[in-house]
Structure 1
Amino acid sequence: MQDEVVKKMDVALSDYLFRQREEEYVHATLPQEMSGFEYVKNGDIKGLKRFLVRHRKAEFPKLSESPVQQERYLFVSVITTCCRVCIESGMPSDESYGLSDLYILKMDSLKTTEDIKALYEEMMLDYAGRMKAYHENHTDYSPKILQCMEYIENHMHNRITIKIIADEIEMNASWLSTVFAKEVGLSVSDYIRQKKLTAAKHLLSYNEYSCTDIAEYLGFANESHFSALFKKYEGVTPKEYRKKTYNKTFTSMGRRE
């Protein structure tokens, strides 16, 4: 059965490639296709804008009889790659995946090819702007401190201690603590707390997880500890923060409260 399926696909592929040659359509090479993502991951806004001007005139393979559906398929294909390229280049995975989900939700509500194309450019520039800020904020750190930050980003849901990080990056805990504070201007524990509270704000604004779930996911001792810490540094409780930010974010996308 599997061999038969493969043979049918081979026939369909052969026919498809023949028709493309007849129509003189030439698919972009991999370097050409990835060039836009290079601008994004490097935070090169000017280069990306030039690329987007060229992109408006580019031809793409036919993916649907419907022009709108064609744009939807292209949008999802591009943002899926963009999301992962940015994660590989240092963007926190929850931020990149969250952006991807939100832009796809927004795209899904659009009705015209023009609106989807405009959102595509907005999305690419948004990712590039975030990568530009990321690179600017990480240029002065030594390799070991960058390793430390990367470990924290990738283990936000775990209990993290200076000893655990030091063992992971093969560095003396006391020395890591001293160097980190000198380079970053925060202690490791303060940095971890700041990153976890930022992640908590993202989850409160863009998801429907309960405060208990968020506290557990981010490795806080319990919901009470999470709420007390959140209020101490943000000035409001997690529930009050969600009430102020959640509806504003999702009303335009048709999400339920």
Structure 2
Amino acid sequence: MSESQTTEQPHFLSSRMHSLREGFVHPPFDYETELLEAIRLGDEGKAMDTMRKINEKEGAVLASYPLRSKKNALIASCTLFTRAIIRGGVDPETAFQLSDSLILQIEKFGDVDRLRQFEYEMLVQFIAVVKREKEVMTYSHIINLSIYYIREHIFQELTLHAIASHVGVNPSYLSSRFKLETGASLTFFINERKIEESKHFLIYTNHSVSEIAFLFKFCSQSYYTQLFKKITGVTPRQFRQN
């Protein structure tokens, strides 16, 4: 047995003894499997219920301080959730970008209760990505390519001609085909996606409404506000406050 093994084993045994004395047992592995499968399928209700069951159990201690311990636990969950949505069909690069973004947010929090709340918000974001992926799979190849292009260039100027050129079809053909398959015009679909993505910035950042409007290439803050209210029923400021 190597020197590292002899030092690691006593630490494991002492940790194991402490857990037994304190009566701590990790949540059943079936719960974790159930949660990851619900995420893979995009089943938000099932995933939320399972996470609540898991959180009813006492969490593992992963650091000397409660805040660091909770952050470590959420980062571990984030890694598992990332693998689950990749198995659910999400592009790996998209999944890893989401994971990186969430881990950076986790590190910014300085309150354990806020981290507990964020765990559920994080779950919702992962499932939203899976749902968007399943939505795309119902369309034709041309429309799927168009939607993928819109997602990847959501912070840029998006025009019918640019998207049609990318997928290799006539703009008028793409416009009519898009409306036929999705039930929405291409312009409305783009605006709806931009509004949906902008919600995350309203919730999780301190950017002003005008900064967010500029980020998503809306012509003005007033137009962004008008469009946001038309699609969601509330203004960006009301959404942020709520």
TM-score by length of 1: 0.59
Shift of 1:185: 1.3
Q: 1:127 to 1:13 in 2, by over 3 A?
A: farther
Higher relative contact order (CA 8 A, sep 6+): 1
Q: Report Cα offsets for 1:73-132 as digits up to 9, x if no partner.
A: 112331355368658727x88x95799479848974236xxx966864x34653466357
Q: How does 1:1-257 map to 2 (within 5 A)?
A: 15-16=7-8, 19-20=11-12, 36-45=35-44, 48=47, 49=49, 53=53, 63-66=62-65, 69-79=68-78, 82=81, 86=85, 89=90, 100=102, 104=106, 108-110=110-112, 120=119, 122-123=120-121, 126-127=124-125, 130=128, 133-134=131-132, 137-138=135-136, 140-220=138-218, 225-234=219-228, 241-248=235-242
Give the aligned partner of residue 28 of structure 2: none
DSSP-derived class of the 2:220 partner: helix
DSSP-derived class of the 1:148 partner: helix
Q: 1:176 to 1:210 in 2, by over 3 A?
A: same
Q: CA separation in 1, counterparts of 2:77 and 2:158?
A: 34
Q: CA separation in 2, counterparts of 1:124 and 1:187?
A: 31
- Contact 2:214 / 2:220 at 8 angstroms: preserved in 1? no
Q: Which amino acid aligns with 2:179?
A: A
Q: 1:202 to 1:36 in 2, by over 3 A?
A: closer
Q: Which amino acid aligns with 2:128?
A: R
Q: Which amino acid aligns with 1:79?
A: C
Q: 1:189 to 1:150 in 2, by over 3 A?
A: same
Q: 1:98 to 1:189 in 2, by over 3 A?
A: farther
TM-score by length of 2: 0.62
Shift of 1:235: 5.1
Runs of 4+ in 1 over 6 A off after TM superposition: 32-35, 54-59, 115-119
DSSP-derived class of the 2:235 partner: helix
- Contact 1:39 / 1:128 at 8 angstroms: preserved in 2? no
Q: CA separation in 2, counterparts of 1:57 and 1:21?
A: 22
Q: CA separation in 2, counterparts of 1:102 and 1:246?
A: 21
Q: CA separation in 2, counterparts of 1:161 and 1:98?
A: 29
Q: Report Cα offsets for 1:144-185 as digits up to 9, x if no partner.
A: 312211211111111112222223233333322221110111
Q: CA separation in 2, counterparts of 1:70 and 1:216?
A: 38
Percent identity of the aligned residues?
19
* Aligned CA-pair RMSD: 4.8
Q: Which amino acid aligns with 1:141?
A: Y
- Contact 1:166 / 1:176 at 8 angstroms: preserved in 2? yes
DSSP-derived class of the 1:65 partner: coil
Shift of 1:34: 7.6
Q: 1:15 to 1:117 in 2, by over 3 A?
A: farther
Q: 1:247 to 1:13 in 2, by over 3 A?
A: farther
**Residue correspondences, number:** 221
